[in-house]
Chains A and B, each alone.
Chain A
Amino acid sequence: MAIEVRIPTILRSYTGGAKIVEGAGDTVADLLADLDSRHAGLRGRLVTDAGVLHRFVNVYVNDEDVRFLGALDAKLNDGDSITILPAVAGGAFGFAAAAAIASHTVATRAAAAR
């Protein structure tokens, strides 16, 4: 039995368009290395050069966030289900627009202060 991994739309260019791929490994790090051997470049989108999960990537093992289970060292078992998702919170509309305005306001104030 293998580990099933759900790939978000924005990363399916690395999996030939596949929504679900299979992999193997005792930890999340092992699994990502295994996936990268068949889907070159995928690991680089999820893990930073410093070797930690990208800030805007969430990885879930059986619906639980791996950051609270040991992050890349989180243990995996055959039959586990992994979901990879971009980090978004609080509703796509609200946060995107709110963040844009906040950064705009800060920039405008900084410009006005000069």
Chain B
Amino acid sequence: MARYDSLLDACGGTPLVGLPRLSPTVPEGAPPVRLWAKLEDRNPTGSIKDRAAMFMVRRAEADGRLRPGDTILEPTSGNTGISLAMVAKLRGYRLVCVMPENVSTERIQLLRMYGAEIIFSSAAGGSNQAVATAKQIAAEHPDWVMLYQYGNEANARAHYETTGPELLQDLPTITHFVAGLGTTGTLMGTGRYLREKVEGIQVVAAEPRYGELVYGLRNIDEGYVPELYDATVLSRRFSVGTRDAVLRTRQLVEVEGIFAGFSTGAILHAALAVAHEAVRDGCRADVAFVVCDGGWKYLSTGAYGGTLADAEEALEGQLWA
């Protein structure tokens, strides 16, 4: 289907494309090992977060938490803010984003273009300052609605009802699903669906490993695991450093022509690892992985050109996924 009543109706239904050049070669007579990319950059605002934003808003409307004219408050500097801004605009809500003042200008411009208001917290104060600012705003505006993507079941539900079924329909022979681990919504929802339908499916997580500066924790007890996370849904979990993520992001555009953001590079790194293991073990594999977004928003980092060491330095201290 290629005709929709509105932009919101055009969310999901993204293409799954084969990667014939990046898929590992197998010895003659051995079963095939193939990589497939789910192009989530083809969503209305250009990222996989459109699915979660739409489901979270619709659920809040159905539950009566959101009424016309309400204000949504979301602390995000990333794709979720951009998706929510678009959905809020089309559904008649005001969106206020709280973000550190050191995020990229592309993100600020995109959010403002979609009509979001932005409250900046001091970058110098790190996450402690951001928490303080967010708490203060919530206290001053108790009527503002926070959808809280880290603990909102509708986030995972979006992928259980859409991403999972789309993958199974397009690739009934799927053996591995690889995605990024942030809110964990994509992996929990898609993973649960595929586990119900595909015997022996491997659900593989790739999490970005940032420079130490980004964590900014004072001790272990300040760590955080999103409420949505259920480790039993996963088969394996890889930590991918900046260098590997950049290397794979460049490889994806150079070899297969897919221009993606750096979180996709981290996911591809894990997908290639399981694909090469399948070749070594002589097993058939259809490895589907998520292309979270396009590379446009990250061009200003300069990390698409120059040496890998330069790129690593350019991304140091940034949230690249």
CA distance A89 to B209 in the complex (A): 10
Those of B8-60 within 8 Å (CB) of chain A? none
- B104 interface residue per 8 A CB criterion: no
- B255 interface residue per 8 A CB criterion: no
CA distance A10 to B225 in the complex (A): 18
Given A68-B235, A98-B75, do A87 and B225 touch, yes or no (CB 8 Å)? yes
- A91 interface residue per 8 A CB criterion: yes
| B46 to A: closest C-beta gap in Å | 18
- B212 interface residue per 8 A CB criterion: yes
Does the CB pair A8–B135 fall under 8 Å? no
**Which A residues are CB-close (under 8 A) to B226?**
89-90, 95
Contact of A85 among B134, B209, B221, B238 (CB under 8 A): B209
**Which A residues are CB-close (under 8 A) to B321?**
91
| A6 to B: closest C-beta gap in Å | 10
Does the CB pair A87–B238 fall under 8 Å? no
Does the CB pair A92–B214 fall under 8 Å? yes
CA distance A88 to B137 in the complex (A): 23
- A21 interface residue per 8 A CB criterion: no
Does the CB pair A93–B127 fall under 8 Å? yes
**Which B residues are CB-close (under 8 A) to A87?**
223-225
Does the CB pair A88–B239 fall under 8 Å? no
> Which B residues form the contact surface with A (CB < 8 A)?
73-78, 80, 98-100, 121, 127, 130-131, 133-135, 137-139, 142, 146, 148-151, 181-184, 205, 207, 209-210, 212, 214-226, 229, 231, 234-241, 319, 321
> Which A residues form the contact surface with B (CB < 8 A)?
8-11, 45, 54-58, 60, 63-65, 67-68, 83, 85-102, 104-105, 108
9 residue pairs, one from A and one from B, having the closest CB atoms:
A56-B223, A97-B75, A90-B182, A65-B237, A97-B134, A87-B223, A100-B131, A96-B127, A86-B223
Q: Can you report 25 residue pairs joining A to B where beta carbons are below 8 Å apart?
A: A10-B218, A10-B220, A56-B220, A56-B221, A56-B225, A57-B220, A57-B223, A64-B238, A87-B224, A88-B223, A89-B182, A89-B183, A89-B184, A89-B229, A90-B150, A90-B226, A92-B319, A93-B75, A93-B100, A96-B224, A101-B138, A101-B148, A102-B148, A105-B146, A108-B142
